[in-house]
Structure 1
Amino acid sequence: MRLTLASLLFAVPALAQALSSPDGQLQVDVSINDQQQLVYTVQRAGQPVLLASRLGLVLEQGDFANGLKLVTTSPVKAHREQYTLAAGKKSRVDTLANEQSFLLANAQGRQFVLQLRAANDGLALRYTVDGPDRKTFKDELTSFAFPADARAWLQPMSVAKTGWKRTNPSYEEHYQADIAVGTKAPSHAGWVFPALFRAGANWVALTEAGMDGRFHASRLASDSTGGTYRIGLPEASEVNTGGHLLADVNGPLTTPWRVLAIGPLKTVMESTLGTDLAAPAIAFDKTKLQPGHASWSWAILKDDATVFDVQKRFIDYAADMGWNYTLVDADWDRKIGDAKMKELADYAKTKNVGLLAWYNSSGAWNDTEYSPKNALLTKAARAKEFARVRAIGIQGLKVDFFGGDGASSIAYYVDILKETAAAGLLLNFHGATLPRGWSRTYPQLMTVEAVKGFEFATFEQKDQDKVSGHAAMLPFTRNLFDPMDFTPVVFHEIPNIKRATRNGFELAQSVLFLSGIQHYAETPEGMATVPAYVKTFMRELPRAWDEVRFLGGEPGRWVAIARRAGTQWFVAGFNADDTPRELTLDLAWLGQREGQLITDGAGPREFAEGKVAAPAATLTLAPKGGFVARFR
C-alpha cells in the first residue's frame, strides 16, 4: 500500500486521539505534548505497556519531530487481509486490525502522516512524507518507553567489520536473558530485532517490516537510559562498496513499519504481525515453490567434503530420508566445477532430490575468499549466473557474507530477491540481516541464517556449552516471525567437541525451529546410529506447517509448541536447564487422541519411545533433553 496525503479522508482535528484493537483490549493514545512533540502511550487490558514515548523523524530537508501540530485525523477503518505463507508458522493467515492516520505539520508548515494499525495481537506504525522532492533521512525519534520494572531479552548487535574476515554484522550473538530494561548494550552498535520485553502481565516483541529496498534496516540504540529504547541506525561501514548508508529517495518517503506484538506470551508467540505488515507476495512459479528438508555435508564435515563423491553420497542420503534437497556449499565451482555439478544435479533428479548451491555475495566489503565470489554484484552479472545455474539444473541458491544494514546493502538484498523470483530460483541468505517479513513478499525466500547457528557449536566448546540456552531463546525471538536457518539436529558426535545436548533436545528442534528448507546437520553415518522409529519420524516430518499453538515456556529455559500439518499435530519441547523439568501440557483440542512419544533414553545419546494421550499430558524432561509427539 502506498499512502498519499491526498488519498486520506480526514476528520476534525483534536489534540489527543485513541485507537483501540478490534477486541478493545489494546489502546494506543497519540497526542502532542507541551513541547510540541508527538508522543504515544500503549495500554493492554488497562495495564501500561509503554509510557509516553516519542514519535517523529528528521530529514535533511526538514524536522518532523519538533514544533508539530495536528492538522487532521482520519476516521478509524477496519483493515482486513488474507495471505498465505510457504515458510511460516501458519500456511494461511487472516488479519484484522483498526487503522487510523494523522496528518501533522512541522514548524515550517511541511506536512507528514503518521499511520497506526492496532490488531488484537499488537500494533504497528510508520511515517510518510509526501511530495516529489528529494528526501534524505537523518534521524528517527521513535521510542519505546517501558515501565521501570520491565525486563528484557536482547541480542547485542555486533560491531561492523569485526569478526572473521570482517563479516560482521550477521546477527550472530548470544542473547542476554531477563535483564533490567535500561541495561546499556555492550557496544555502541545497539541491540538487534526482534527484541523481547515483559511489562507486568504483558510481553512485547519489537521488530520492523515492510522493507522495500529503499530504506536502511534499523535496530535499537545502545543507550536506553530509564528504560526508553530508541530506533538506532546502521554504522557508516555497513554499505556495499560506494553505496549509501541511509534512505535517500526522490518522491514520497515511507518508512518501514515499527511492529510491536503485545499480549500474554501465548498471544505474542502465536502472532503473525511480522509478516502481516510485510508487502503482499510477488509472483513466483508455484510449481517451483517447494519447502522441505535438505541434507548438507558442511555442518559436520566442513570444507574438505565439498567434492563430487561426498556430495553424491549426501544426495543418496537425502533420497533415503525422503528429503527433497541437498545443499552443496562453498567452493563448489573450484572443487567440483560446472560439468560435474550438472552430473550431480542430473543424478539427484533421478532420486527426486533437488540441488542447492552456495554463493558469496561479497565484493570488497569483507575479506572472504570462498567462491563463487564477485559474481552477483550487478544486474547483468546476476542474470548471467542465474542462467548458468539453471543450465546446470540447480534449483536454489544459498547466498552468504552480506555487508550490513545500510540502505545500499538492503537494496542489494531486494535486487537478489526480485531477480531470483523472476529466474525461478529458491533462496537462502546467510551471513545476513534479519529478513523482516521478506518471506511473505518473496515466497521463494525459504530461509535466512541471521542467527548464531549450529555451526558455532562445532567451532568452539564454549559455544557448544551455551547452545541449549541459546536454542531455547530462538522460538521467542529470532524465529518468532521469520524463517531461520539454524541447521539443527545432530544425534551422533561432533569432531573435537563434546556435545552438550541430549538426543531428545536435538530431535525437538526439527519441529520447534521454523525454516522453509530445514538443512539438517546430521551425516548419513550419524543418522545410522538412531532407532528406526526416529528415522521414520525424520522421514515423515511435514515440509510445511498449517497452524501453531504455544503450550508454554520461558525464554532461554524451556519451550513447548504444537504444530499442525493437515490433520496431524506434532508437539515438541525441550529443556535447556541443568536439572529435570516436569511439564503438564494442555492438549484438550486433541480430544481423546493418543500419540507417539519420542523422548530421551537413559543415556544422552539414547532415545525412548512410548505413548502420550490427550487431553493432558505430564512429561519429565531430562536436563538438556526434549521430546516430540505425533498425533495422527
Structure 2
Amino acid sequence: MKITKILIGLISLVMCAKATVAQTDQQRIFSPDKKLELVCSPKKLTYTVSYNGKQVLSDSKLGLIREDDDFSKELTLIKISKPAMVTQDYTMVNAKKSSISYKAIQTTFEFKTDKGNWMNVIFNVSNDGVAFRYEFPEKNKDLKRITKESTSFRFLAGTRAWMQPKADAQTGFEHTNPSYEAHYNMDIPVGTPSSSSNGWVYPALFKSGQVWMLLTEADLGRGYCGTSLAQNSVNNEYLVNFPQPAEGIPGAAILPESALPWKTPWRIMAIGDLKTISESTLGTDLAQPALAMDKAFIQPGKAAWSWVLEKDAATIYPVQKKYVDYAASMNWQYSLIDANWDETIGYDSIAVLAKYAKEKHVGLLLWYNSAGNWNTVKFTPRDKLLTHQSRVQEFARLKEMGIKGVKIDFFAGDGLSMINYYRDILEDAASYQLLVNFHGATLPRGLQRTYPNLMTTEAVFGYEMISFGQDAANKAPSHSVMSAMVRNVFDPMDFTPMVLYKIPGVKRVTTSAFELATSVVFLSGIQHFAETPSGMSHVPDFVKTFLMELPNNWDDTRFIDGYPGQFYIVARRSGKKWYVSGINGENKQRDLSLNLAFLANKKAKLIFSEGSDEVNLKSKEITLGHDGKLGLSLKGNDGFVLVFED
C-alpha cells in the first residue's frame, strides 16, 4: 500500500511538471545588465527581442526541417533550463582586441517531435546582443540532412537597412561569384528585395529608431554550409537562405549534413548603439575556440604587394626583389608575390628570393589558385591544393623553401563542401607553419579564432577593384566607411588599402590623409599595402616613420564617432600607445567634435591633409585639454591620424 501511494505521488509530480512546461507560453531571458530581453514562445516556436524596454524584433520564427523530420512545428516542450551565466576568456592577434572576455545568460529549451526526435534551442543573451543555435543531442551515426531553416528575423515597420547583395553563383569574372565583392545598399527600407536571387550577405546592419542591430553567424563546424538572408522579406521578415547548387565542389555536399549529436551555427545579432556594435566581439566569442597548434609561427604584420597597382607585368624576379627591399626599408614583415609566379619566376628562383628576403628580415607570401572545376580561372599555380596529399606535398615544399604564407584565391561560395575545403587548407597549412589569406572567398564567420593561422580574408570590394575603374574610385570613400563599420566588425578584412600618391589610369578622389587613415581604420592580421616603392618616394619622411612604427596588431579598440557610409572615427591601442584615426566618406566638409576624455592632457602628433598637391600630408603637435575634447575639420573625402605618446 505504501509503495502504491509513493508511486501515485511520483506520477502526480511528473504530471505536474509536464503540465507546467506545457502551459509555459513565454520565457524571458535578460542580458546581465538587463537592457536586452529575449522572449521565447515555445508553443508558437517564435521569439521577440527588446532593448531598453522597446521591441526591436517582433515575432520571428524558430526551427528547421531535416529530411527525416520536421522541427519547425508541433513540437512538444519537454524542459526549460534555468538561466545560467556562461563565461569565457580568450586571446587573439588578428582582432580588435588581444584579450577578450565574454559573458552571457544561457537558457536551453528541449523539444521533441511526434516521431520522438529531440531538438534543443540554446539562447545566449549578452550585454551586446543575442544569439541562438539548434542542437540535436541524440547519438546516431547515420547522416542527417537539413533541407531548410525556418529561422527568421522580423523587423518593425520603419526599420532601415545597410546590406550587400550576394552575387549569383557562376557569374562574374571567369565564373568566380559569389565572393562577397559588391557595394552596399545604404539606408534602404527593410523589405527591399535584393538585386540578386542569392539574397544578402552577412553582416547585415539594421536601425530601428535609435537602436542598431548587426546580423551574422558563427561556428559552422564541419556539418553546416554558410548561409545568407533570402532575397525577399515579406512583411519585413528575413529568412535564412541556403547556398545555390553551384556553390561547392561539384558532386559534393552543398546543404548541411552530419551524424548526431550535432550543433548548428550560432545566429547572432549584436544590438545597441553604434559604439556597442563597433566594439562587440560576438562574431569570435561564439566561434569555435582555437584548435591545438604550434602558434610560434603566427606573426601578424604588414606586407608590400606589387600586383594591385603594377598588375601581372610586375611578377618577375627583379621587381619582386625590389619589393622585398621596399618591405625591409619600411620595417614591414612580409612581401606578397601574386599569380603566375611559378611560370614567370619559378620555384627555384623563388627559393633564392626567399633566402634573400630572410636576410632582410622579410617573409615571402605566395599566391595560389584554389583550382577545381567550379570556375574557369587559368592563373597558376593551380591544381596544387585540391587534396590532402597534394597540399601536403606543396606545403612541405614551401616550408623547405622558407615561405611564410599563402594567399589562395577564387573559391566557389558557401556550400558545405567548400566550407570544409577552407578548413582542410587551414589545418594542413598549420602543420607546415604557413599563414593563410583567402581571396575570392566567403566571410570568415569567426574562422580566424578557430584557426589562428588564418590572418585575413578578402570578402570585400577592395582596392584592386578601385584600381580597375573610375566609378569604383568615386564610390570608394563611402564604401570604405561601410566596409570598416560592417564587413570588418568581427572578421579581418584584406581590403589592401592605402595609395598615398597616384592610381595608374584612375583619378583618386580621396585625400592622402584619408588613405593613410585606412591603415588604422581597417583591421587585418596581415595588412597588405597597395602603395608602391615609387609612390612611397613622394611621401614625407614623417609619414614613412609613421608606417614603419605602426603596430602589427591591437590590444584594444574604442568607437569614437561615426555613421554608416558617412564617416567613421576609431581609437586603437597597442601597448600604451593610442592611435585615433578617421575617414570622411562624403564629399563635403565635416566639422568634428571628438570626445577623447580617456586621453585627456596627453600630447599627440596629428597627420592631416593641407593644400592641393598629390601628397599633401602635414603634421603638427597638439595637446588635449583636461576635458579631452578636440575639434577637427575634414574636407570632403578626407581623413586624419592622431598618434598619442605613451
**TM-score normalised per structure 2:** 0.95
Matches within 5 A, 1:506-521: 506-521=515-530
What is the CA-CA distance between 1:129 and the residue it aligns to?
A: 1.7
- Is 2:634 the partner of 1:621? yes
| Corresponding residue number in structure 1 for 2:143 | 134
SS in 1 for 2:466: helix
Q: Indicate the SS of the match to 1:433.
A: coil
SS in 2 for 1:149: coil
* Structure 2 CA distance for aligned equivalents of residues 616 and 350 of structure 1: 46
**What does residue 112 of structure 1 align with?**
119
1:4 corresponding residue in structure 2: none
Task: Show the counterpart of 2:36.
Answer: 26
Secondary structure, counterpart of 1:204 in structure 2:
strand
Q: Which whole-Å CA distance do the structure 1 matches of 2:622 and 2:631 have between them?
A: 9
- Given the superposition, is the C-alpha separation of residues 382 and 11 from structure 1 closer, same or farther in structure 2, using an over 3 Å criterion? farther
Q: How does 1:69-84 map to 2 (within 5 A)?
A: 69-84=76-91
Q: Is 610-619 or 577-586 further displaced after alignment?
A: 610-619
The amino acid that maps onto 1:617 is L
Identity fraction in percent: 46
1:306 to 315, 321, 327: 315
Q: What CA distance in whole angstroms lies between the structure 2 residues aligned with 1:495 and 1:607?
A: 20
Q: Which residue of 2 aligns with 1:294?
A: 303
Q: Does 1:610 align with 2:620?
A: yes
1:470-497 deviation per Cα after TM superposition (whole angstroms, max 9, x unaligned): 1010122110000000000001111111
Aligned to 1:335: 344
Equivalent residue letter for 2:339: A
Shift of 1:202: 1.1
Relative distance call for 1:604 and 1:434 in structure 2 (3 A) is: farther
Deviation at 1:610, TM superposition (A): 1.6
- Equivalent position SS for 1:439: helix
CA contact (8 A) 1:214 1:410 kept: no
| 1:229 matched residue in structure 2 | 238
Q: 1:11·1:75 contact (CA, 8 Å) conserved in 2? A: no
CA distance in 1, matches of 2:46, 2:611: 57
Query: Residues 300-351 of structure 1, C-alpha deviation per residue, up to 9 Å, x if partnerless?
Result: 0001101100000000000000000000111111111111001110000000
Match of residue 206 from structure 2: 197
Mapped pair 1:65 → 2:72: yes
The alpha-carbon deviation at position 11 of structure 1 amounts to 12
Counterparts of residues 149-548 of structure 1 (less than 5 Å): 149-548=158-557
Q: Which residue of the partner structure matches residue 92 of structure 1?
A: 99
- Distance in 2 separating the partners of 1:286 and 1:218: 30
The one-letter amino acid paired with 1:323 is W
For residue 108 of structure 2, what is the aligned residue in structure 1? 101
What is the Cα deviation at residue 69 of structure 1? 2.5
Q: Say which SS state the counterpart of residue 485 (structure 1) adopts.
A: coil
Aligned to 1:287, the other structure's residue is in SS state coil
**Long gaps (5+) in structure 1:** 1-9
TM-score of the superposed pair, with normalisation by structure 1 = 0.97
Return the alpha-carbon distance in structure 2 between the equivalents of residues 160 and 576 of structure 1: 31
8 A Cα contact 1:324 1:353, kept in partner? yes
Which residue identity lines up with residue 457 of structure 1 in the other structure? I
Q: Mark the structure with the bigger radius of gyration.
A: 2
Distance 1:499 1:325 in 2: 26
Partner Cα distance (2:341, 2:565) in 1 = 37
Shift of 1:604: 5.7
Residue 381 of structure 2 aligns to a residue whose secondary structure is coil
Contact 1:220 1:232 in 2 (8 A): yes
Q: Distance in 2 between matches of 1:284 and 1:428?
A: 18
CA–CA separation in structure 1 for the residues paired with 2:277 and 2:377: 38
CA deviation digits over 1:441-468, x for unaligned, max 9? 1111000000000000111111111111
Q: Is there any run of 5+ residues in structure 2 with no aligned partner, and where?
A: 1-17
Q: Paired residue for 1:123, among 121, 130, 133? A: 130
Structure 2 CA distance for aligned equivalents of residues 327 and 119 of structure 1: 40
Mean Cα deviation higher: 514-523 or 474-483: 474-483
* Deviation string, structure 1 residues 33-79 (Cα, Å, up to 9, x no partner): 5xxx3000000110111011000000101000011231101111111
Structure 1 residue 32: Cα displacement: 3.1
Counterpart contact for 1:65–1:106, Cα < 8 Å: no
Q: For the residues of structure 2 that align with 1:154 and 1:629, how far apart are their CA atoms? A: 31
Deviations 1:342-385 (A, max 9, x none): 11100000000001001111211000011110110011011001
2:644 equivalent in structure 1? 631
Q: Which moved more, 1:69-78 or 1:116-125?
A: 69-78
| 2:61 counterpart residue number | 54
Q: Distance in 2 between matches of 1:373 and 1:241?
A: 17
Partners in 1 of 2:359 and 2:164 — Cα distance? 44
Per-residue CA shift, 1:208-235, capped at 9, x if unaligned?
0002222100000011122111111100
- Shift in CA distance, 58/589, structure 1 to aligned 2, threshold 3 Å: same
CA RMSD of aligned residues (A): 1.3
Residue in 2 that maps onto 1:582: 591
Contact 1:283 1:421 in 2 (8 A): no
Distance 1:43 1:412 in 2: 39
Could you tell me whether the CA contact under 8 Å between 1:501 and 1:604 is conserved in 2? Answer: no
Please give the alpha-carbon distance, in whole angstroms, between the structure 2 residues aligned to 1:473 and 1:158.
18
Sort the Cα spacing of 1:67 and 1:11 in 2 relative to 1 into closer, same or farther, 3 A: closer
Partner of 2:4: none
| Structure 1: distance between partners of 2:427 and 2:56 | 38
Q: Larger deviation: 103-112 or 437-446?
A: 103-112
Q: Displacement of 1:250 after TM fit?
A: 2.1
Code of the aligned partner of 2:110: L
